[in-house]
């Protein structure tokens, strides 16, 4: 059996072990899967660290080398839920291997990336580590619900201090070097309940919330239509609306939530204040609504000429024989937690992303082997070679 075949077989085995260990939302409990990852890392010669913020998920980190440049490969190991079981033709938690693919919940987003990183960690250890700087492998939770217990916890605790941060996930071997920020806001709206037979004697919170939503659409949306750069639009979407408890009662409470995607040049705190200013201008009585920020994260735009990006471009050329393109993402990655740190951030990895968050999610075996080879070459370039290879 060739070295490539052995490497791929080992990655498949590791991926199956990850898929067999659920870490699905809404709980997103990564305790068990972190123990599996830590065992693989220990077997490869590392002393892995499992870290968690208070009430947060478990995260695993392993390091080799020291100093700068610190290259951090980071992927998330929590997943969305499986949805309706009848929509799956395979067990989402079995890690089914067939027809040149590995099927299972999170196979492509992002446990496939985790398996690649585990094999990279083994190979880098066997090669003696980087000739210069350090390489860190980080496996994190809390990504799917955009919360702070994963990559942000590692950053805030000083556990990872990257010069180059590679968010490993399905990009089809193209590179994502720019990303919008995310602001999520909830607005609770209050009124006074009364019998629906005399609606005028109540204060309908649902109608007040409707007026506030209409005001945001009328006042804020035109502003956002003028905000764009060469890559991105600044957007707002009202995404949830809840009110009422009985059909015969004027509701005294309503709640709506909105999603703001912000340009890298916009600041999340300023975006919150702008929403508050618009709501305040709409004439509703003081104290009848409360704005609650849920998620605040800035976008990033570090450029395309840094050593990490150039190493990955060169690696794709060397291994796959073509020049990769650049992605403009609609979503948000864990890179947002490092957006104002002045570091190089890129999203890159194996898989096309076509089956993410869908029944019968899978990753191609070929993409596992190609992803391993490309990222190993990229790490070699950034590290200036390996200690045990001259």
The neighbouring-strand residues paired with 98 are 101
Cα 109 versus chain centre, distance? 9
Domains of the chain from N-terminus onward = 3-179+300-389 (3.40.630.10), 181-297 (3.30.70.360)
- Which residues contact residue 362 at a Cβ distance below 8 angstroms, ignoring those fewer than 6 apart? 101, 102, 103, 104, 107, 108, 355
In the beta sheet, which residues pair with residue 190?
A: 253
- pLDDT for the residue 1: 54
Q: Give all strands (DSSP E) within the chain, no chain letters.
A: 49-51, 59-65, 70-76, 96-98, 101-103, 134-140, 164-168, 181-190, 194-195, 235-243, 249-250, 253-262, 289-297, 344-348, 362-364
d(C-alpha 4, C-alpha 155), whole Å: 34
Peptide linkage before 49 cis (omega within 30 of 0): no
Q: What is the pLDDT along the chain (390 residues), one digit of tens a residue?
A: 566 777 899 999 999 999 999 999 988 999 999 999 999 999 999 999 999 998 899 999 999 999 999 999 999 999 999 999 999 999 999 999 999 999 999 999 999 999 999 999 999 999 999 999 999 999 999 999 889 999 999 999 999 999 999 999 999 999 999 999 999 999 999 999 999 999 999 999 999 999 999 999 999 999 999 999 888 999 999 999 999 989 999 999 999 999 999 999 999 999 999 999 999 999 999 999 999 999 999 999 988 999 999 999 999 999 999 999 999 888 899 999 999 999 999 999 999 888 899 999 999 999 999 999 999 999 999 999 999 986
What are 30's two structure tokens?
Answer: 């990564």
Max distance between CA atoms of the chain, in angstroms, equals 86
Give me 323's structure tokens.
């020049």
- Contact between 384 and 127 under an 8 Å Cβ cutoff? The reply is no
Do the beta carbons of residue 325 and residue 291 sit within 8 Å? Answer: no
Pairing state between β 164-168 and 70-76: parallel
Distances (CA, A) of 67 to 131, 190, 220: 11, 54, 46
The confidence score (pLDDT) of residue 360 equals 96
- Rounded-to-integer distance, Cα 168 and Cα 72, Å: 10
> What is the rounded distance in angstroms from the CA atom of residue 163 to the CA atom of residue 343?
5
For 243-246, the CB contacts below 8 A with 24+ separation are: 243/205, 243/206, 243/209, 244/206
Please give the pLDDT value at position 2. Answer: 67
Q: Judge if the upstream peptide bond of residue 26 is cis by omega within 30 degrees of 0.
A: yes
Contacts (Cβ under 8 Å, ≥6 apart) of 104: 15, 16, 19, 20, 90, 91, 92, 93, 94, 95, 96, 111, 361, 362
CB 73 within 8 A of CB 120: yes
Please tell me what DSSP assigns to residue 108. Answer: I
Alpha helices in 68-220 (DSSP H): 112-126, 151-156, 205-215
What phi, psi does 228 have (nearest 5°)?
Answer: -165, 155
């Amino acid at each position: 059996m060739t070295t490539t075949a052995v490497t791929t077989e080992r990655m498949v085995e590791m991926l199956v072990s990850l898929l067999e260990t659920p870490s699905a939302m809404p709980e997103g409990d990564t305790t068990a899967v972190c123990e599996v990852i830590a065992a693989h890392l220990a077997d490869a010669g590392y002393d892995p660290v499992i870290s968690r913020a208070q009430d947060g998920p478990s995260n695993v980190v392993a390091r080799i080398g020291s100093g700068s440049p610190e290259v951090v490969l980071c992927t998330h190991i929590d997943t969305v839920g499986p949805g309706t079981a009848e929509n799956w033709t395979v067990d989402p938690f079995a890690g089914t291997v067939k027809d040149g693919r590995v099927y299972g919940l999170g196979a492509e987003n992002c446990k496939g990336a985790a398996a690649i990183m585990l094999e990279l960690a083994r190979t880098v250890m066997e090669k003696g580590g980087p000739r210069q700087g350090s390489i860190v492998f980080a496996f994190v939770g809390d990504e799917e619900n955009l919360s702070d217990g994963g990559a942000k916890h590692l950053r805030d605790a000083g556990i990872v201090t990257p010069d180059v941060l590679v968010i490993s996930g399905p990009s089809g071997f193209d590179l994502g070097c720019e990303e919008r920020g995310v602001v999520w806001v909830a607005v609770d709206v209050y009124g006074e309940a009364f019998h629906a037979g005399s609606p005028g004697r109540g204060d309908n919170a649902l109608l007040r919330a409707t007026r506030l939503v209409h005001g945001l659409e009328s006042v804020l949306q035109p502003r956002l239509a003028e905000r764009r750069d060469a890559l991105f639009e600044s957007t707002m979407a009202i995404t949830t609306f809840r009110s009422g408890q009985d059909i015969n009662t004027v509701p005294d409470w309503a709640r709506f939530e909105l999603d703001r995607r912000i340009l890298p040049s916009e600041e999340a705190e300023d975006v919150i204040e702008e929403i508050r200013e618009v709501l305040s201008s709409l004439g509703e009585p003081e104290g009848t609504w409360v704005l609650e920020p849920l998620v605040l994260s800035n976008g990033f735009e570090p450029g395309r000429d840094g050593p990490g990006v150039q190493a990955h471009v060169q690696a794709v050329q060397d291994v796959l024989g073509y020049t990769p393109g650049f992605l403009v993402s609609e979503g948000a990655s864990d890179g947002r937690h490092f957006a104002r740190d002045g570091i190089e951030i890129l999203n890159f990895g194996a898989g096309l992303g076509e089956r993410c968050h869908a029944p019968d999610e899978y990753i191609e075996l070929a993409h596992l082997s190609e992803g391993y080879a490309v990222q190993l070459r990229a790490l070699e370039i950034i590290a200036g070679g390996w200690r045990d290879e001259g």
